[in-house]
Amino acid sequence: MSQEILEQLAAGLACGELVPYLGPGALADVVDPATGEPIPADSEHMILAMNNGRPMSARLMWEFSRAAMNVELKRGRGAVNRFLVRTYGERTWTRAPLHDWLAGIHPPYVIDINRDTQLQDSYRATPHTLVRGIARIGGTPYRFLIHEWDGDTYREVPQEGVDRRLPVLFKPLGSPVPDPTFIASDADFVDYITELMGGFAIPSFLKDYRIGRQYVLLGLRLTRDTERMILSNLIYAAGRPAGWALIAEPTAKERRFCARQGIEIVEAGIPALLAAAATRDGQIEAPA
């Protein structure tokens, strides 16, 4: 893989021309410092963690949302939420190298489909806007919550009152901070994706901002329909190309999907991008 394209992507991310889109692989190498246990990030490891290390049936092991729906039906939605809060809100984890890099460059817009807090921690010293997905809630047609961080506390704001000068962290599947909200079970995803397709899961200011944007997919595999549907809706009205996906060993299914979306596959991983970022001279322009 050409070192030049990696350096161009690193430069584009660093200057804010390209939008990072983070998947589970962004949390590679993150562990519990006391035990060395890896953080559960992808579907398989989240299911095992939720089920006390025991595999579930093959049908449920295919995707976390299926397993979460099974747990919800047996023990209630609260059981799934408590697991996610314990995992991502109460345990201590080491920092991901990618998040350390993002903390240094502070892109103006980041999409993160993980449910942890490392991205928010990366912006702890910087005022920012946090947008998180919600599901199965009454009293509003919208499926998002918006909070602004002033450097000390989060406060909820309406979409009409967002300060557009602040960087935006978009976590569509939620996080435990400032208050827990998650998209987890099949029922959550049905509601959230339905409203996402209808335009009610993205604030109006982001609909304006995303026009013509280009994305770099980092740590995201595109073999499951859930991730593909969320991605295609979040990057609607993207530029051309719509972006680049770092996938070291892409499948034929991933190649076909990326071709339809106008996304170019770069057969490399996050470590290669970070290495390119460390060596770039800062003068390389983002890809046209």
pLDDT at 2: 78
For the record, the structure tokens of 23 come out as: 């998947």
pLDDT tens-digit readout, 35-57: 999 999 999 999 999 999 999 99
Please give the full DSSP string across 229-257, using - where no structure is assigned: HHHHHHTTT--SS-EEEE-SS--HHHHHH
Of 95, 113, 90, nearest in space to 28 by CA? 95
Answer whether residue 284 shows pLDDT above 80.
Answer: no
Cβ–Cβ < 8 Å for 178, 119: no
pLDDT tens-digit readout, 17-32: 999 999 999 999 999 9
Task: Estimate to the nearest angstrom the gap between the alpha carbon of 145 and the chain centroid.
Answer: 16
pLDDT tens-digit readout, 123-170: 999 999 999 999 999 999 999 999 999 999 999 999 999 999 999 999
pLDDT tens-digit readout, 205-263: 999 999 999 999 999 999 999 999 999 999 999 999 999 999 999 999 999 999 999 99
Answer whether residue 1 shows pLDDT above 90.
Answer: no
- Give the pLDDT band of residue 279 (cuts 50, 70, 90): confident
pLDDT at 288: 41
Which DSSP category does 150 fall into? -
Of 184, 170, 173, 175, nearest in space to 63 by CA? 184
Query: Rounded to an integer, what distance in angstroms lies between the CA atom of residue 166 and that of residue 278?
Result: 26
Task: Estimate to the nearest angstrom the gap between the alpha carbon of 104 and the chain centroid.
Answer: 18
Higher pLDDT, 283 or 252: 252
The domain segmentation of the chain, as residue ranges, is 3-36+92-279, 43-90
Answer whether residue 85 shows pLDDT above 50.
Answer: yes
Residue 268's contacts (CB-CB under 8 Å, 6 or more residues apart) are 1, 6, 246, 248
- Give the pLDDT band of residue 86 (cuts 50, 70, 90): very high
Q: What is the pTM of this model?
A: 0.96
